[in-house]
Every structure is written in structure tokens, then in C-alpha cells.
Amino acid sequence: MSENIKMSELVQVSKFEEFGLSSELLKAIKELGITTPTEIQDLALPCIMSGEDLTGESATGSGKTLAFGCGIIDKVTPRGGLQAVVMVPTRELADQVKESLKNFSKYKPLNIIAVYGGVSISPQIHELSRAEVVVATPGRLLDHLERRTINVSKIKIVVLDEADRMFEMGFIEDVEEIIRACPTERQTILFSATLSSDVKNLAKKYMKNPQEFSAVKHVDPSKLKQVYYDVPKNMKLSLLVHLLKQESSGLVMVFCNTRRNADFVHKNLTTNGIDAVAIHGGLSQNKRTRMMDIFSDAKAEVLVCTDVAARGLHVDNVSHIYNYDLPRDAKDYVHRIGRTARAGDSGKAINLLCEYDYDNFSHIEREYRNFSIERIELPEIEKIRTVPVDDDRNGGGRGFSRGGFGGGRGGGRNFGRGGFSRDGDRRGSSSSGRRGFSREGGRSGERRSSSSDRGNSFRGRR
């Protein structure tokens, strides 16, 4: 039976010195300026360091990487072969986790690598022969298993990060196959933004009496101001341009539901003099990495993105979140707006609603009744002339609503069974149990939007 521990049950906040960490690890943590454990670190570290299995429910940016990273760094032996594997849903998160683990292991000579699709597999084969820790997306990791270019016989620790997202993206069959290939005598650590029934069933199937921790605090309503505009669909982009030109503080993320809409918004923002970059699953890995670096370094003030950027990635100084499209899943709304108002800072979430968004917005309001989302009257704005997006291979499929407004169908197609995308990451649907591949090259977490079935129940707000 799993033990559910809440933060309120702790008498006092522990210090890192009390977790039994090595002096090398403590020195690296101190040099990174980390002085006080976060809630999830305080809850999970005693269990992790004692070698127990655990499931942790915790939001993006809560310090999970350091929590499982401490166990990996202090338990993995240099030059002892591959001993730890961390599975993550996206390529960007793989790179970010790898870099974090390298920072934490500054004073211990560990070979930590990231493995994902969208890049050549040959260098990875060479690196895997020398690695002690691998951070990987499930599709490419399973590819290596099937090629026998990875040896998992010495694995001590398996980490599943953002487990709920891997379910949503159809990776869970690959994840299970990888887990079954690892030694049964191991420590298994699972972190998820939500401990759904699917995630709990996975834990029950592959973990030994896991302790269960909950440290969920997605959004601090007192720090995050949430507003919405009710705007005609043919004025949504004009409103976005108008509002962005008024902003002068921090970085801005603009979320779209489809790759096609992200490309459309990005192209028209840059056409109207706004310094913006875009990221979605239809771009090559090198380009995605380059765009994220540009945004993180504040060389561009606006990032137009799909939900591939809503989970896991850490970007400082994001002051505003714009939802150009409202997500179908209310939980995705929380993950999006959770990119701002972090570490005690304030932030603002702006929702641009046209008729295609009413149903989705209503779902969000019903799910999160504690949110106060204020309606703002439309300002006087000038309608801009929009530039269409050219069809190209990086696009997100067909079927966006005319002019780029609303959700559209987007998202690419699935083909056949047992296939691979061009970048080697498998795709599939956890509900159907089928695998397929995408012309666009890799599952990125975007969903198909179904604007055609959305009603006008929200019109009473206008």
C-alpha cells in the first residue's frame, strides 16, 4: 500500500545537509545558489536517497530534476557502464534535464548524455558505449534497444518524468517495453503533474510499494492576473499585435493549438515588426534548440509555441502568457499559464477568445472555479493585413480555419502500425494501442483541435 504524505504533515523544512548527500553534490548545489529545498525536494529526497520507489505529483518548475538527480549522482559509479535512465516526453526536456544533471554532477566525473530523435543516431551509438546516465525520449531509446546499441543490464535507477504527458503523447507502450528490459532489482522514480488512474496503474504494475508524494501548486492566483478578451475571429490577430506592442516587461509566450496556427501567428507578428520566434514539433531538432536558445537569452521577446513548450522547459523572466487558442484540456491551460508568476514573481495570462474558443474556455472555468478571469473590454484597434502561411514540409497538416483563427484540424496524420517518424521517435495513441508515424517527424504533444463542433454557448458574455 502506498503512503500518501502531504507537506502539512512536516514539522519543519529540511536542509540539503540533512538528506545524506555527498560533499561533492552539496558543493555543486551551493554554487548554483540553491539554499532551501522546494516542497517536492523536501518530500521526496529522503525516500530517493534511501533507494525506495516513489511517485510524485508536482508541477513544472517545482524542482523535480534536482530531487531525482541527487539520487542518480550519488548512486551512479563513474566508468561503471550505463546505470541510470531518465525518460522524458520531449527532446527539449531531454536536453534541459541533461544539462541540469551535468551542473549537479560538476564535481563527479559522470558521462551524462541525451538521446532523442530528429538527429543522427550514429553519434548516439558511440556516446551510449561510454555513458553512465542517459536522458531520453521513449521512441529513440526503444530504437536503440531494438538495434542492441544500448546495454541496460546494469541499470540501477529508472526515472519517468512527466509521466502523464507520455501517456497523452502515446508513448506508454514504448515506456513499458523499456522498463521490462531493465533489471527487476532497481529503483523506479515517477514524477507527474497529475497522478491519473493511468499513471497510478503504471506505478502499480512496475514499482515496488511506492511511496506517494503530492506537492501540487500549479498557479498562485494572488501572483497571476488572468484576463480575457472576447474578440471577433477576424480581429484576433490584430488584437494580439496591438497588445504585444504595448508590452515592455519581460518575455512573452504565445500559445497556439496547432503547428499551422503557430506558423501563421509567428509570420504575421514578424511582418508587423514584433521580434518573435516559433517552436513546435514540425521543426527540426536543431531549429527547435536554436529558437529556444534565442528566446531564453532574450534575443527575441516573444515565443510563439504549441504545447510542446508548456511542460518541463524552464525559462526565466516570462512575464506574460497569451493564449491565442484556448486548449481543449483544462489541465493544459494551467500548464501554460504556469510558465509565468514563478518563484514569487507576478505575471499575467491573457486569453483571446473568439467563437471557436467558447466551449474550451467554459471547460476551464468549470474545472478551476478558484480562478478569477476578468473580462477586459476591447480597445480601439486597427485591423492588420494578414500574410498567409506557405505550405511546406514543416507545417502541421491541413485544415486550419481560414485566416489562421480558431483551432483548425492541423497536427498531421498517423499512418499504419508499428512505424516510426523520420526522426526515430515512435508515435501512437495510448487509447487505441496502435503505433504509427508522422510525415512531420515526431510527436510533439500538440492535439488536433476540433473547432467545427464548438458551439456558441459563450456568446452571452459578449
Span 74-125, pLDDT tens digits: 999 999 999 999 999 998 899 999 999 999 999 999 999 999 998 999 999 9
pLDDT at 274: 94
Residue 391 pLDDT grade (very low, low, confident, very high; cuts 50, 70, 90): low
pLDDT at 8: 37
Residue 234 C-alpha cell reads as 477576424
Span 245-258, pLDDT tens digits: 987 778 999 999 99
Question: Measuring CA to CA, how many Å separate 99 from each of 96, 162, 208, 311, 439?
Answer: 5, 17, 29, 17, 30
Q: CA-CA distance, 317 to 295, in Å (whole number)?
A: 11
pLDDT at 194: 80
Mean pLDDT of 158-184: 94
Residue 367 pLDDT grade (very low, low, confident, very high; cuts 50, 70, 90): confident
pLDDT at 309: 61
Other residues' Cβ atoms within 10 Å of the Cβ of residue 411:
27
Residue 344 pLDDT grade (very low, low, confident, very high; cuts 50, 70, 90): low
322: Cβ contacts below 8 Å, ≥ 6 apart:
240, 243, 244, 252, 253, 254, 255, 349, 350, 351, 352
Span 56-78, pLDDT tens digits: 988 767 789 999 999 999 999 99
Q: CA-CA distance, 281 to 258, in Å (whole number)?
A: 10
Task: Say which residue, 163 or 451, is predicted with more confidence.
Answer: 163
pLDDT at 175: 97
Task: Say which residue, 315 or 358, is predicted with more confidence.
Answer: 358
Q: What domains sit in the chain, N to C, each tagged with a CATH number?
A: 4-215 (3.40.50.300), 224-406+451-461 (3.40.50.300)
Q: CA-CA distance, 276 to 274, in Å (whole number)?
A: 6
377: Cβ contacts below 8 Å, ≥ 6 apart:
none
Task: Say which residue, 262 or 285, is predicted with more confidence.
Answer: 262
Cα 454 versus chain centre, distance: 26
Residue 436 pLDDT grade (very low, low, confident, very high; cuts 50, 70, 90): very low
Helices 330-337 and 358-367: crossing angle in degrees, nearest 10, is 80
Q: What is the mean pLDDT of the chain?
A: 81
pLDDT score of 4 more than 80:
no
Q: CA-CA distance, 303 to 293, in Å (whole number)?
A: 11
pLDDT at 6: 43
Range among 90-94, 145-149, 197-201, 325-329 with highest mean pLDDT value: 145-149
Mean pLDDT of 185-207: 92
pLDDT at 66: 95
Residue 298 pLDDT grade (very low, low, confident, very high; cuts 50, 70, 90): confident
Task: Determine contact, residues 304/278, Cβ cutoff 8 Å.
Answer: yes
Q: CA-CA-CA-CA torsion for 194, 197, 203, 208, nearest 10 degrees?
A: 120
**Percent of the residues in the chain that have a pLDDT greater than 90, as a whole number:** 56
Residue 354 pLDDT grade (very low, low, confident, very high; cuts 50, 70, 90): very high
Cβ-count burial 132-160 (b if 16+ within 10 Å, e if not)? bbbbbbbbbbbbbbeeebbebebbbbbbb
Residue 315 pLDDT grade (very low, low, confident, very high; cuts 50, 70, 90): confident
- On whether the pTM is more than 0.85, the answer is no
pLDDT at 312: 58
Mean pLDDT of 297-323: 83
pLDDT at 370: 80
pLDDT score of 458 more than 60:
no
pLDDT score of 459 more than 50:
no
Min mean pLDDT across 134-143, 321-330, 396-405 is at 396-405
As beta bridge partners, residue 342 has none
Residue 408 C-alpha cell reads as 483548425
Q: CA-CA distance, 460 to 456, in Å (whole number)?
A: 9
Residue 217 pLDDT grade (very low, low, confident, very high; cuts 50, 70, 90): low
pLDDT at 336: 86
Residue 132 pLDDT grade (very low, low, confident, very high; cuts 50, 70, 90): very high
